[in-house]
């Protein structure tokens, strides 16, 4: 089948999509957007998190056909090519990245959290990110990164 | 039809950066591409014309194979190759220590998930459907699933060599020693999974001349290369590996997974072949942490001085050898813990079974025995009426003591000191239990308690482990340093084959180079087999061994620079490299730009740590070259009724020799503790009759951000005189004693024995092992039926 949707602000088309493919597969294997990651492919780890019409979803759980005509934003779409979004900057600065496989999903999920709640408490951060597994960091520096990003946002960054 | 072209791909190079000097926290060089989603992992690889590989795996843990018929699969549209054991060109088995594992099974399968055939097709779904069309005629056999059973004489032998894969016997002092106070116990560790997030994946690209390039996530490029070349019947130089982005490892990428299979398919089809496991397949596609049963007896005098330790350790090695030999040796040597034990008798057995092969995982061998020896120390303290920390401090090993395996404890060995540190670290603030935010209670947002039945507990543990490869292994690393001037600015290029798996090794290599040569701009080249081996990224060894190689190569480059300065400027005094130039004291002699004048200086070196030796028949010998120590304190809250746990805080003290990069170090400690917490409370591959019951992240539970408490840490920098910069490996110690500390805290809170990890809620709530089966009540659906097996 043919799939049309808006991805990171551009209209994109994918041809020859098998009906059983997930949005994650189409992004990664057909549209050259491998930033969203394939760690569990069953909605448990959050590594494939993207926005669909402004809602945070696991792209592995979205059938490609369900994305028809939708507005998708992936980790690649959060900042211009040579720029970093404050959330991305904070993850690097805080040391919240090790192997980095969970990172794109956490970046999108944190972006979503801070859109909804500019100054989340420790418990609110933990609740919002409980669907994102990280195997390397023990999460402490991820908490630091989210707090750092919230502070940067508070200072009027984008 | 073989391709004529040689479509190789270049791995994206992380841009040169100023990495800072050793001891500084600097953001990692690969951090920016990783947060932008641009970092290329092995599962992201893509090439025009590539095919997808897939693997047919045995549904049975033990069976004879009478025939494999791939005719129908081969005829399917979109299928380009179906290969079996008959298509393995060279050695049909592989293995790091013992080549006992079939590349593709013939005649027998020995574990559920063992690869039998591989397919290349134009879409992953086509490949999966082709697998379904391969007909395999099995004769299903009873699996041997209990290592104690495997040990018995009359049990069927799973390998020609028998079922005992390895045994280590350590006799130290008087093996018949007796003591006034004796405690004993039996302990068990479940099968933990590394659960790295990036699935096994990679791409093999045929070079059109019979050779192959493989882009791969692994822990050790050269051991992969050698095993692949052997089984492809190719000279090693025709098998070129380049490290792709690695999504975590923790030991689970030491063995081959899809490496050989993708190369076979690529060579057969003449097309690039990508293979990528999904999570379920990943559980079958790599080795796990060894389950172990341990019987211990500790004897002490009435003052609490240890007199003897006797232990019998029985490891389940699973179907194939992997790194089991080293695990068996480690466990034997560390069985008594970091204590001065005058007499010991340790028997460590490693068995073949029809369970999944077990191998390397963070802290291997040491993790298992630490849970047992630390539980024993708590038991002994209770029997003696002593404080468990004081008992540990009293018996702590010191430099000059003898390990039970005969080696002398080297400097530094600050066991008592790290215990004192965790004793004296401030306790987390007591927070009123009733009326708390639910998210800060056991069970969290499940809304299962508002504070009723919640008890607090505190526990301690200490552990230790060897760094690097031991017992006579030639453990080396190779590094090349090139100094040049580009755009008027000096640049260092670092090249090694060391696998960056997330730990920050590339940042450390850059920091060392920057420090040694006084040059700000450093580029770390992609790791590949064009340079000599760096050894494995495991056993906490890369900072030491590849760090040592990079330092040594820098020193060689520096010597060349100084020679040039002496020649050209007639300098005979002491020289130094700083700020992109060469100085004598405060006097700048020349900038590198002027000195090199368009030339490059390149030096490649091989670095070795001091030799180690195998154990003798009594388990005695200088087997290890460095030891790392850590202690942990855990504070927990337990809902006694439901057995749910909130770990409030972990405090730790660890000797690291030298802090090379504070941020990376903290990350290793926090992440290592999280894996120890997982083993204590959540993580186990559940086996039934040789079959995995929970091969998914829905059913294999990993710690989330909700489960992980803050880690309070104190880091000691007691230099190891033999090590580069005095550093010690840091990756594994955080995982070793965090588990027993948490379980000790659970015992403190509940008063229960808890001799097995992970500790299930049922055990904490005091529910018996087997649920009582009652007759079905009218209107109920009756007892849950056993899962039917096809």
Q: What is the DSSP string of B91-142?
A: -SEE-SSS--EESS--SEE-STT-EEEEEEESSHHHHHHHHHT-EEEEEE--
Topology of domain A86-154 in CATH is DNA polymerase; domain 1 (1.10.150)
Using CA atoms, how far apart are residues B546 and B533, in angstroms rounded to an integer?
A: 10
Same-domain pairing of B586 and B671:
no
Q: Is B655 among the domain residues?
A: yes
pLDDT digits (tens, 9 = 90+) for B676-715: 999 999 999 999 999 999 999 999 999 999 999 999 999 9
Average the pLDDT over each of A105-119, B738-752, B757-771 and give the range with the smallest value: B757-771
Contact (Cβ atoms closer than 8 angstroms) between residue B73 and residue B136 = no
Contact (Cβ atoms closer than 8 angstroms) between residue B636 and residue B657 = no
A101 vs B38, B247, B673: nearest CB: B247
Same-domain pairing of B265 and B206:
yes
**What pLDDT is stored for residue B8 in this prediction?**
58
**What pLDDT is stored for residue B770 in this prediction?**
63
pLDDT digits (tens, 9 = 90+) for A141-154: 999 999 999 998 76
Using CA atoms, how far apart are residues B120 and B677, in angstroms rounded to an integer?
A: 40
Inspect the interface and report whether the beta carbons of B34 and A97 lie closer than 8 Å: yes
Residues in chain B with CB shorter than 8 Å from the CB of A137 are 667, 670-671, 674
What's the mean pLDDT in B332-354?
98
**Chain A touched by B422 (CB under 8 Å):** no
In what helix (H) or strand (E) does residue B269 lie, and over which residues does it extend?
Answer: helix B259-269
Taking alpha carbons only, the member of B539, B540, B708, B696 closest to residue B199 is: B696
Taking alpha carbons only, the member of B453, B465, B427 closest to residue B709 is: B427
Q: Would you place residue B787 in the very low, low, confident or very high pLDDT band (cuts 50, 70, 90)?
A: very low
Contact (Cβ atoms closer than 8 angstroms) between residue B655 and residue B418 = yes
**What pLDDT is stored for residue B61 in this prediction?**
98
The string of DSSP letters for B532-559 reads -----S-TT-HHHHHHHHHHHHHHHHHH
Closest residue in B to A29 (Cα–Cα): B46
Q: Give the total number of structural domains in chain B.
A: 3
Same-domain pairing of B646 and B578:
no
**Chain A touched by B538 (CB under 8 Å):** no
Q: Is B560 among the domain residues?
A: yes
Neighbours of B325 (CB within 10 A): 18
A44 vs B34, B439, B698: nearest CB: B698
Whichever domain contains B457, its CATH number is 3.30.365.10
Domain boundary pick from B608, B627, B662: B608
**Chain B touched by A18 (CB under 8 Å):** yes
Q: B520 vs B6, which has greater pLDDT?
A: B520
What's the mean pLDDT in B320-336?
98
Numbered ranges of CATH 3.10.20.30 in chain A: 3-77
What's the mean pLDDT in B222-234?
98
Taking alpha carbons only, the member of B247, B262, B169 closest to residue B214 is: B262
Inspect the interface and report whether the beta carbons of A44 and B445 lie closer than 8 Å: no
Q: Using the structure block, give the residue that is written with the tokens 């959060």.
A: A78
Contact (Cβ atoms closer than 8 angstroms) between residue B554 and residue B483 = no
Closest residue in B to A46 (Cα–Cα): B197
Numbered ranges of CATH 1.10.150.120 in chain A: 86-154
Residues in chain A with CB shorter than 8 Å from the CB of B279 are 39-42
Q: Is B77 among the domain residues?
A: yes
Residues in chain B with CB shorter than 8 Å from the CB of A126 are 439, 705-706
- For residue B418, pLDDT over 70 is answered with yes
pLDDT digits (tens, 9 = 90+) for B249-298: 999 999 999 999 999 999 999 999 999 999 999 999 999 999 999 999 99
List A residues 68-87 in contact with B (Cβ-Cβ < 8 A). 74-76, 79, 84
What range does the domain containing B592 cover?
476-608
Tokens representing residue B544 in the block? 């030491």
- For residue A158, pLDDT over 90 is answered with no
Q: ipTM of this complex > 0.85? A: yes
Using CA atoms, how far apart are residues B737 and B626, in angstroms rounded to an integer?
A: 18
Same-domain pairing of B525 and B561:
yes
Same-domain pairing of B617 and B604:
no
Mutate: best of B26, B27, B28, B31, partner A, most A CBs <10 A: B31
- B283 φ, ψ to 5°? -60, -30
**What pLDDT is stored for residue B1 in this prediction?**
35
Inspect the interface and report whether the beta carbons of B198 and A101 lie closer than 8 Å: yes
What's the mean pLDDT in B319-334?
98
**Chain A touched by B443 (CB under 8 Å):** no
Q: Is B16 among the domain residues?
A: no
Whichever domain contains B126, its CATH number is 3.90.1170.50
Question: What's the length of chain A?
Answer: 158
Domain boundary pick from B608, B624, B653: B608
- For residue B784, pLDDT over 70 is answered with no
Inspect the interface and report whether the beta carbons of A34 and B40 lie closer than 8 Å: yes
Taking alpha carbons only, the member of B221, B303, B265 closest to residue B56 is: B265
- For residue B539, pLDDT over 50 is answered with yes
**What pLDDT is stored for residue A153 in this prediction?**
77
Q: Is B391 among the domain residues?
A: no
Q: Which residues contact B760 (CB under 8 A, 6 or more apart)?
A: B643
Question: Quick one: what percent of chain A has pLDDT higher than 90?
Answer: 94
- For residue B5, pLDDT over 60 is answered with no
**What pLDDT is stored for residue B506 in this prediction?**
95
Same-domain pairing of B126 and B245:
yes
Q: Using the structure block, give the residue that is written with the tokens 């466990």.
A: B331
What's the mean pLDDT in B309-338?
98
- A155 φ, ψ to 5°? -85, 10
**What pLDDT is stored for residue B12 in this prediction?**
72
Using CA atoms, how far apart are residues B12 and A147, in angstroms rounded to an integer?
A: 32
**What pLDDT is stored for residue B779 in this prediction?**
55
What is this structure's pTM? 0.96
Q: Is B291 among the domain residues?
A: no
- Mean pLDDT, chain B, integer: 95
In what helix (H) or strand (E) does residue A146 lie, and over which residues does it extend?
Answer: helix A140-154
Question: Quick one: what percent of chain B has pLDDT higher than 70?
Answer: 96
pLDDT digits (tens, 9 = 90+) for A50-101: 999 999 999 999 999 999 999 999 999 999 988 999 999 999 999 999 999 9
**Chain A touched by B158 (CB under 8 Å):** no
Same-domain pairing of B423 and B490:
no
Contact (Cβ atoms closer than 8 angstroms) between residue B279 and residue B199 = yes
pLDDT digits (tens, 9 = 90+) for A29-51: 999 999 999 999 999 999 999 99
What's the mean pLDDT in B609-631?
97
Inspect the interface and report whether the beta carbons of B35 and A47 lie closer than 8 Å: no
- For residue B32, pLDDT over 60 is answered with yes
Residues in chain A with CB shorter than 8 Å from the CB of B670 are 137-141
List B residues 216-275 in contact with A (Cβ-Cβ < 8 A). 245-250
What's the mean pLDDT in B557-562?
98
Domain boundary pick from B608, B627, B643: B608
Q: Is B86 among the domain residues?
A: yes
Nearest-CA distance from B67 to chain A in Å? 32
Contact (Cβ atoms closer than 8 angstroms) between residue B143 and residue B689 = yes
A39 vs B35, B199, B674: nearest CB: B199
Domain A3-77 has CATH 3.10.20.30: yes
**Chain A touched by B670 (CB under 8 Å):** yes
Q: Would you place residue B18 in the very low, low, confident or very high pLDDT band (cuts 50, 70, 90)?
A: confident
pLDDT digits (tens, 9 = 90+) for B450-503: 999 999 999 999 999 999 999 999 999 999 999 999 999 999 999 999 999 999
Same-domain pairing of B456 and B598:
no
**What pLDDT is stored for residue B786 in this prediction?**
44
Question: Quick one: what percent of chain B has pLDDT higher than 90?
Answer: 93
- For residue B783, pLDDT over 50 is answered with no
Please give the C-alpha separations between residue A41 and each of A30, A110, B422, B439, in angstroms, as whole numbers: 17, 20, 41, 27
**What pLDDT is stored for residue B447 in this prediction?**
87
Q: Is B280 among the domain residues?
A: no
């Amino acid at each position: 089948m043919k799939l049309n949707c808006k991805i990171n602000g551009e209209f994109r088309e994918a041809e020859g999509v098998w009906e059983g493919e997930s949005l994650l597969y189409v992004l990664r294997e057909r549209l050259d957007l491998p930033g969203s990651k394939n760690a569990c492919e069953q909605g448990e780890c959050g590594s494939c998190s993207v926005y669909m019409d402004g809602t945070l979803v696991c792209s592995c759980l979205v059938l490609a056909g369900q994305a028809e005509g939708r507005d998708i934003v992936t980790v690649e779409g959060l900042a211009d090519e040579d720029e970093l979004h404050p959330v991305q900057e904070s993850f690097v600065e805080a040391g919240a990245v090790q192997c980095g496989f969970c990172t794109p999903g956490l970046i999108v999920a944190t972006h979503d959290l801070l859109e909804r709640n500019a100054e989340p408490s420790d418990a609110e951060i933990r609740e919002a990110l409980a669907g994102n597994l990280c195997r390397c960091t023990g999460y402490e520096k991820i908490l630091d990164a989210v707090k750092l990003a919230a502070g940067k946002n508070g200072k009027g960054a984008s | 039809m073989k391709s004529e072209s040689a479509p190789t791909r270049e791995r994206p190079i992380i841009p040169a950066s100023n990495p800072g000097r050793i001891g500084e926290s600097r953001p990692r060089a690969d951090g920016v591409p990783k947060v932008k989603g641009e970092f290329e992992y092995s599962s992201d690889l893509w090439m025009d014309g590539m095919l997808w590989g897939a693997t047919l795996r045995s549904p049975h843990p033990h069976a004879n194979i009478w025939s494999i018929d791939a005719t129908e699969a081969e005829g399917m549209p979109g299928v380009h190759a179906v290969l079996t054991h008959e298509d393995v060109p060279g050695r049909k088995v592989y293995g790091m220590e013992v080549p006992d594992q079939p590349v593709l099974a013939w005649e027998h399968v020995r574990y559920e998930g063992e690869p039998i055939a591989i397919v290349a097709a134009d879409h992953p779904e086509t490949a999966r459907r082709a697998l379904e069309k391969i007909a395999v005629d099995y004769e299903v056999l009873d699996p041997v699933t209990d290592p104690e059973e495997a040990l018995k004489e009359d049990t069927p032998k799973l390998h020609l060599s028998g079922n005992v894969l390895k045994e280590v016997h350590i006799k130290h002092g008087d093996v018949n020693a007796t003591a006034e106070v004796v405690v004993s116990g039996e302990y068990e560790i479940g099968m933990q999974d590394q659960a790295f997030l990036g699935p096994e994946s990679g791409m093999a690209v045929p070079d059109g001349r019979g050779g192959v390039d493989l882009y791969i996530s692994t822990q050790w490029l050269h051991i992969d290369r050698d095993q692949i070349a052997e089984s492809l019947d190719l000279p090693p130089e025709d098998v070129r590996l380049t490290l792709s982005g690695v999504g975590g490892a923790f030991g689970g990428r030491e063995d081959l997974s899809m490496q050989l299979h993708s190369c076979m398919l690529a060579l057969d089809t003449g097309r690039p072949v990508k293979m990528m496991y999904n999570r379920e397949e990943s559980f079958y596609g790599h080795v796990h942490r060894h389950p172990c049963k341990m019987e211990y007896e500790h004897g002490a005098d009435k003052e609490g001085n240890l007199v003897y330790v006797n232990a019998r350790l029985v490891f389940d090695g699973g179907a194939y050898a992997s790194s089991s030999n080293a695990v068996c040796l480690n466990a034997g040597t560390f069985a008594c813990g970091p204590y001065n034990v005058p007499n010991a008798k340790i028997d460590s057995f490693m068995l073949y079974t029809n369970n999944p092969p077990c191998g390397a995982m963070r802290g291997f061998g040491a993790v298992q025995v630490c849970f047992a020896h630390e539980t024993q120390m708590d038991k002994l303290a209770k029997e003696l009426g002593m404080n468990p920390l004081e008992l540990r401090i009293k018996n702590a090993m010191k430099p000059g003591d003898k390990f039970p395996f005969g080696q002398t404890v080297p400097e530094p060995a600050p066991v008592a000191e790290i215990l004192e540190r965790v004793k004296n670290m401030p306790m987390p603030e007591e927070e009123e239990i009733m009326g708390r935010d639910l998210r800060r209670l056991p069970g969290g947002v499940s809304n299962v308690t508002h504070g009723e039945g919640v008890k607090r507990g505190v526990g301690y543990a200490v552990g230790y482990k060897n760094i690097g490869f031991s017992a006579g292994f030639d453990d080396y690393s190779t590094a090349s340093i090139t100094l040049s001037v580009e755009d008027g600015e000096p640049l260092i290029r670092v090249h090694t084959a060391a696998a960056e798996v997330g730990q920050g090794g590339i940042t450390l290599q850059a920091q060392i180079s920057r420090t040694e040569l006084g040059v700000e701009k450093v580029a770390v080249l992609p790791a590949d087999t064009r340079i000599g081996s760096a050894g494995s990224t495991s056993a906490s060894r890369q900072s030491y061994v590849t760090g040592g190689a990079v330092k040594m190569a820098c020193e060689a480059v520096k010597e060349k620079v100084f020679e040039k300065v002496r020649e050209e400027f007639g300098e005979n005094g002491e020289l130094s490299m700083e700020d992109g130039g060469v100085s004598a004291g405060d006097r700048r002699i020349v900038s590198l730009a002027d000195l090199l004048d368009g030339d490059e200086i390149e030096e490649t070196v091989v670095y070795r740590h001091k030799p180690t030796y195998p154990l003798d028949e009594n388990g005695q010998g200088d087997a290890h070259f460095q030891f790392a120590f850590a202690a942990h304190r855990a504070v927990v809250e337990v809902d006694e009724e439901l057995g749910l746990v909130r770990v409030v805080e972990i405090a730790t003290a660890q000797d690291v020799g030298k802090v090379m990069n504070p941020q990376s170090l903290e990350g290793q400690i926090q992440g290592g503790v999280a894996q120890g917490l997982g083993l204590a409370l959540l993580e186990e591959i559940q086996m039934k009759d040789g079959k995995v019951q929970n091969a998914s992240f829905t059913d294999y539970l990993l710690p989330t951000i909700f489960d992980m408490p803050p880690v309070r840490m104190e880091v000691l920098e007691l230099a190891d005189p033999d090590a580069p910069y005095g550093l010690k490996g840091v990756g594994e110690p955080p995982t070793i004693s965090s588990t027993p500390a948490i379980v000790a805290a659970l015992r403190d809170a509940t008063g229960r024995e808890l001799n097995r990890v992970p500790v299930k809620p049922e055990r904490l709530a005091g529910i018996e092992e087997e649920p009582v089966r009652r007759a079905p009540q009218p209107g109920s659906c009756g007892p849950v039926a056993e899962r039917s097996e096809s």
